[in-house]
Every structure is written in C-alpha cells, then in structure tokens.
Amino acid sequence: MRLWSLHPKYLDAQGLVALWRESLLARAVLRGNTRGYKHHPQLDRFAAHAQPRLAINAYLAGVHAEAVARGYAFDRTKIGPVKIVEPIAVATGQIHHEWQHLLAKLAVRSPALFEQWRLLDQPTCHPLLRQVTGPVASWERVQEAPGNSVRDFPSIPRA
C-alpha cells in the first residue's frame, strides 16, 4: 500500500488509479470493514488523526478531484462525507523520499511525465497534508548509501 504524501497531480494514470484503489482500501480498514491491512504503517497517520474517517475521506476527495480534472470517472459515492479537517503533518524528508521514489517509477512507466517533473525542486504535498521540517518517516524502507543517512535530512535538498 502506498498512500502518497505527494499531490496526486504528479502521478501517471497507473499511479492515480492505484492510489484510488489503495485509498479506498485504507478507508475500509479505518471503518473496520476489512480484516487485512489493519496494522499497515501508512495508515498510522490517519488513525492518529482526531477524525480518522473524515481524514481519509478528505484524502480520497483530493485524489478524486485530480481524477475529475483529468476526465476520469472515479465513483464519488465511494468516498463518504467530506468535511474540512485538521491537516496531517508530513515531513519534508518524507516528501523528498517519495519524490525520488516516484521519479524512479515515472522514468520507467511514463518517460514523458518523468521529463515533465524531473527538474522540479520542491513538489507539493497532497491537499490534506502540510509540510513540516523533518526526516523520512520511520516506517519507510530507505536504501542508504554508506555514511549518508536520508533520515537525517531536515528538509528537501535543492538540486
């Protein structure tokens, strides 16, 4: 499961559809409607929210808005009530980590999108999230070069 912290506008078609499906699965988990994925670490930030169900609905609404902007027919009725909720903090190190991960995927799957986004210094996060200074999330599996810990970066480095 990958619930991107990045704005959905950066995803290719395959990535956006996958995000929609995985976000709906996350919603089912948070509602107690499924037995699987209950302890998936990417759900922690939603489960810790004061209003977890409304938070995942707001997240889904952001994904849906991007789909509509692209002319896709994602079913809005699957989201549930959408209200303004407190944003979820996401660390700049996490944004940077996800950005590198996404660029690697786009380079293979969608070279045109890779070219469009590869020089972007500071990608924006999903509308539900707000950036704060900090490292990569502890639940990420980070490939670290010897002597260079990605978790120690306080902010997104500029190219």
Q: What is the pLDDT of residues 115-159, one digit of tens each?
A: 999 999 899 999 999 999 999 988 887 765 444 444 443 443 333
Q: What is the pLDDT of residues 29-81, one digit of tens each?
A: 998 887 767 767 888 899 899 999 999 999 999 999 999 999 999 999 999 89
Could you tell me the residue ranges of all domains in the chain? 8-136
What would the mean pLDDT of 99-122 be, rounded to a whole number? 95
Q: Do 136 and 93 form a contact (C-beta atoms < 8 A)?
A: yes
Alpha carbon distances (Å) from 43 to 56, 85, 96: 9, 17, 19
Tokens 């991107």 -> residue = 4
Distance CA 53, CA 80 (A): 9
Distance CA 155, CA 94 (A): 9
Q: Do 41 and 2 form a contact (C-beta atoms < 8 A)?
A: no
Cα–chain center distance at 148: 25
Q: What is the pTM of this model?
A: 0.86
